[in-house]
Chains A and B, each alone.
Chain A
């Protein structure tokens, strides 16, 4: 089938031309648009983390929550360049688990990780207690479990583990759709702003 060439001419559209010129100028460098999207998306993610309210371990142990995720919300940082908007999520927020499984192993030459086993130890490390508070014991069930017990009442204070595996949990951060919606809303507001400045 032969190509059909169409010539389209738009006339009498001066106002539209002016608006289009403003729009093109406003979108030629998108860094500012991306700054707006990154900031709004970061704020939304912070709100999400503050509203997460997941304190399963603290509830199970009858301890006061440490609010670790809520406190780390301020560490998120918006960033942008001409090609994209970004939310920078520092590693120590533990939010990488939203995207992949996590394996935690002891650092600084230590043998075990200490996992709090009761309300008294939740949110604390062994060093937070006076020397001599705990004694090491090996419990035997279907396999041996090393633990730290309180000397005073024999309560298990910490489970000792050589490695902890945490499965990926995408709900630790907002969904891709939620972030997309923020980007869409912010882009519309940005374009409207350009058009208002033009008129």
Chain B
């Protein structure tokens, strides 16, 4: 048998290692203001203001995603770092300027050293890095060719399930239709019919905090805090069976031909466009004019905001030059 060329490093570790450090006094709401692009490339936690803590935090998460330590050991390691740095719920980190971080009640989620907070941090970080790793792997040419789509499925139990079919539709996903039971998402592993091609904007909208308060601003699972929803790779044959297309009815081949970044192993940024398929054409045209968007004559129902975005970026660049 030929020697294996297998790289044993987990994709989750690759995703975790590729992040920088972001010590910050901001709370969760403030962090969201920074934008998804910054957060996706950074290691941070709300009110995690100490650079040494954030550095240790990254090391611990790297070890966790590499499979070298378990969740319990990760929690203990973080707690020990906090203890060494002199963190207290009431006073925060000793080096944090007074007043920057409000005092936290001990043993609550605001207390960085509490069990509930450490549990949330470790679990969310592990799931996020696993999801990011899956996305990296999913767009490698061999995996993309064999499995061009994902289906949203439940991977673990929760006490109260969020209404994922509703979120799916709000995010622009196609209605799975009567073939799939609406409550299928409540059962672990059961197909839900919520299927979309890799790179479809629906995956980003599911994790967009502009749409859902509990979203993590990522376009991969788990999309939201404490979510147990995941995605399952689906073959081209499965997509054809369920008539899966791109957001504007593109075939699988057309979708990937239009999105060479996906084929090249780099997901595109979500396109600044709105699809008005199914809307009265006259209303759609008025909407386009009112919002200053443009549209391609071959796709009159898709309003594109690339020009506005380009202008705003240029303005911002000029403002920085002054």
Residue numbers of A with Cβ under 8 A of B are 31-32, 35-36, 39, 43, 46-47, 50-51, 67, 70-71, 73-75, 77-84, 86, 88, 90-94, 107-108, 124-125, 127-128, 130, 189, 193
Contacts and interface: CB of A to CB of B under 8 A. Distances in A.
B68 A91 contact: yes
Given A88-B8, A91-B67, 11 more contacts: A35-B142, A43-B233, A51-B189, A74-B221, A77-B12, A77-B133, A79-B6, A92-B67, A127-B76, A128-B115, A189-B235
Contacts of B143: 35, 39, 78
28 contacts: A31-B142, A32-B142, A32-B145, A35-B143, A36-B147, A39-B143, A39-B233, A43-B233, A50-B188, A51-B189, A67-B157, A74-B127, A74-B221, A75-B130, A77-B10, A77-B11, A78-B143, A79-B6, A79-B137, A81-B4, A81-B6, A83-B2, A83-B3, A84-B6, A90-B10, A92-B64, A108-B76, A193-B237
A88 B10 contact: yes
A70 B67 contact: no
Contact of A77 (B115, B137, B145, B188): B137
A14 B17 CA distance: 54
B265 to A, nearest CB: 14
Contacts of B126: 75
A32 B60 CA distance: 34
Contacts of A82: 2, 5
A68 to B, nearest CB: 9
Contacts, number: 99
Of listed A43, A46, A47, A79, residue having the most chain B CB within 10 A: A79
Contacts of B8: 88
B60 to A, nearest CB: 12
B67 A125 contact: no
Interface size classification for chain B? 35 or more
B264 interface: no
Contacts of A93: 67
Interface string B180-220: 00000000110000000000000000000000000000000
Contacts of A35: 142-143, 145-146
Contacts of B157: 67, 70
B67 A32 contact: no
A36 B148 CA distance: 12
Contacts of A127: 75-76, 79, 115
Given A39-B233, A50-B155, A77-B11, A32 B73 contact: no
B142 A86 contact: no
A107 B130 contact: no
A74 B155 contact: yes
9 shortest A-B CB distances, which residue pairs? A90-B67, A35-B142, A83-B2, A92-B70, A91-B67, A128-B115, A81-B5, A36-B146, A92-B67
Interface string B1-39: 111111110111000000000000000000000000000
Contacts of A51: 189
A131 to B, nearest CB: 11
Nearest to A130: B107
A36 B147 CA distance: 8
Contacts of A39: 143, 146-147, 233
B156 interface: yes
Interface string B56-77: 0000000010111111110110
A32 B2 contact: no
Interface string B267-284: 000000000000000000
Nearest to B5: A81
Of listed B11, B69, B72, B221, residue having the most chain A CB within 10 A: B72
Of listed B7, B69, B189, residue having the most chain A CB within 10 A: B189
Given A32-B145, A32-B146, A39-B146, A70 B73 contact: no
A128 B119 CA distance: 10
B232 interface: yes
A67 B156 CA distance: 8
B225 interface: no
A34 B28 CA distance: 42
Contacts of A78: 137, 143
Nearest to A42: B233
B190 to A, nearest CB: 10
Given A36-B146, A71-B156, A83-B2, A125 B72 contact: yes
Interface in B93-109: 107
Contacts of A81: 4-6
A79 B146 CA distance: 13
Contacts of B142: 31-32, 35, 80
B305 interface: no
B109 to A, nearest CB: 14
